[in-house]
Amino acid sequence: MTTPGRAHIRWFRNTAPYINAHRGKTFVLMLAGEAAQHENFPNIIHDIALLNSLGVRLVLIHGSRPQIAQRLQRAGLDSALHDDMRITDTAAMEHVKDAAGSLRAQIEALLSMGLPNSPMQGSRMRVCSGNFVTARPLGVVDGVDYQHTGKVRRIDSDGIHRQLRDGSIVLLSPLGYSPTGEIFNLSLEDIAVACAATIGADKLLLFGRAPGISAADGELIRQCAVGGIGSLEVADPEQSALLQTARMACRAGVPRCQIISYADDCALLEELFTHDGSGTLVAKDDYEQARAADIDDVGGILELIEPLEHQGILLKRSRELLETEIGQFRLLERDGRIIACAALYPFPEDGCGEVACIVTHPDYRGGQRGQRLLRELELEARRQGLDRVFVLTTQTAHWFIEQGFVEASRDALPGRKQSLYNLQRSSKVFFKTL
């Protein structure tokens, strides 16, 4: 048992599955110019260095909008925005290049640190910048000539992958280059989406001021699928823009986008190396939705669990009982069909809850849907103030052990559950601390 005062050791041990899962993966990180101005920016760079040392392949894309605006203001120049895109004339372009180059040099300097007694001590990282982005002029849109503002034409994926294989961090500025030798001011979001999709990134990490996306009631949205974005009511303009960037990236083929805060010192590591994360996960699959069950789902749940009841894996539940307990169930729905379910029965007097009836349709097994529903129930248990969950199982003990459950005696069950224990089934008891 971990002694008091050593909780950090236990946390470090618990990161091992995430370290193994992320090693060799490719992450694209999008940091706006506002992030670079924040006092927490050096900490983010230190965390990026840590990810690199753990074998994660990283592409860092930075913006420079506020830096450009400051330079234009000091020069007494007016550079108008149209549809949130800067109209970049020849005079403004000089300041765009200055801002992008200065910020790139600042990031390279931070990634080159190696001072003793600092998080970067002993690090030897290579940072690679270059002409990886080929651009073309945006042209005239709605009668507005954007001049030196452009859009991504092509990403040199082979060149980026070559640098990533060599262990370098690839750093991209919001500039693109044409075959004719012109330089264009590009949208940060345009580069991030195009790069992540073209190189086949496993994740796109988007940094904003707030810790993820908040619902209308202010509660943090932990995860959503692309198909559910349209139903979200997001008032904050920055959050809305980040959500739309995530939508574009997922539709372009990026499996996952994660929206986190650049102001939170621990946000990046917490998002990647803890169970709950710190921000909002946007998933590519808009055909599967996790939701709470309602009375209309009783028939679909019965159809799902009956075969396992006949095999003796699950206790038999009548339609009447399901109708009574339907509020305890969560579902995975695909194209209107229930493909998985699970239930949480709280025992608040004992600070724990029972996870039960985790079932996936035979056609959809092997896709970690059971794990996904289990995570949903664990989050719900935490929301209810529970610190443990338990299961009773006869034939799936190994699966629960793989999910972090530990076998316990029957006496560890809540009193109410002990009185209902079926001696004939001799179910094994497993607990998991949340």
Max Cα–Cα distance, the chain, nearest Å: 84
**Do 198 and 327 fall within a single domain?**
no
Query: Which among 257, 283, 309 is the end of a domain?
Result: 283
Domain boundary among 250, 283, 316: 283
Are 169 and 139 within one domain?
yes
Over the range 48-73, which residues count as b (16 or more CB within 10 Å of their CB) and which as e? bbbbbeeebbbbbbbbbbebbbebbe
User: pLDDT by residue for the chain (434 residues), tens digit each?
Assistant: 445 567 778 878 888 888 998 999 999 999 999 999 999 999 999 899 899 999 999 999 999 999 999 999 999 998 788 888 899 999 999 999 999 999 999 999 988 876 565 566 666 788 999 999 999 999 998 889 999 999 999 999 999 999 999 999 999 999 999 999 999 999 999 999 999 999 999 999 999 999 899 887 788 888 888 877 877 888 889 999 999 999 999 989 899 999 999 999 889 999 999 877 889 999 876 556 788 999 999 999 999 999 888 887 788 888 999 999 999 999 988 767 888 999 999 999 999 999 999 999 887 877 788 898 999 899 999 999 999 999 999 888 999 998 999 999 999 999 899 888 888 888 899 999 98
The number of C-alpha atoms within 13 Å of 405 and in the hemisphere containing its C-beta is 26
Whether residue 265 is found in the same domain as residue 371: no
Same domain for 272 and 352: no
**Element containing residue 141 per DSSP (H, E):** strand 140-141
If asked whether residues 255 and 366 sit together in one domain, one would say: no
Residue 317: give its domain's CATH number. 3.40.630.30
Look at residue 251 and tell me if it is in a domain: yes
Kindly state whether residue 1 falls inside one of the protein's structural domains: no
- Say yes or no: 62 and 143 in one domain: yes
Task: State which residues form the domain around 340.
Answer: 288-433
Return the DSSP state at 279: S
Same-domain pairing of 237 and 318? no
Whether residues 167 and 304 share a domain: the answer is no
Q: Are residues 71 and 207 in the same domain?
A: yes
What is residue 37's predicted lDDT score, i.e. its pLDDT? 94
Is 169 in the same domain as 206?
yes
DSSP 93-135: HHHHHHHHHHHHHHHHHHTT---TTSTTTT----EE--S-EEE
Instruction: Indicate whether 2 belongs to any domain.
Output: no
Strand partners, 343: 329, 356
Three-class SS state of 393: strand
Residue 323 and residue 394 in one domain: yes
Which domain-ending residue is among 252, 283, 314? Answer: 283
Phi, psi angle pair for 176, to nearest 5°: -130, 160
In a domain, 175, yes or no: yes
- Residue 114, pLDDT score: 67
Q: Are residues 72 and 157 in the same domain?
A: yes
Residue 196 within any structural domain of the chain: yes
Residue of 391, 389, 393, 390 whose CA lies nearest to 426: 393
Q: What is the pLDDT of residue 1?
A: 44
Count the domains in the chain: 2
Q: Read off the CATH number of the domain in which 164 is found.
A: 3.40.1160.10
Q: What are the structure tokens assigned to 427, written together?
A: 């179910």
What's the confidence (pLDDT) of residue 120? 62
3-state helix, strand, coil in the chain (%, to 5): 40, 25, 35
Q: In this structure, is residue 333 part of a structural domain?
A: yes
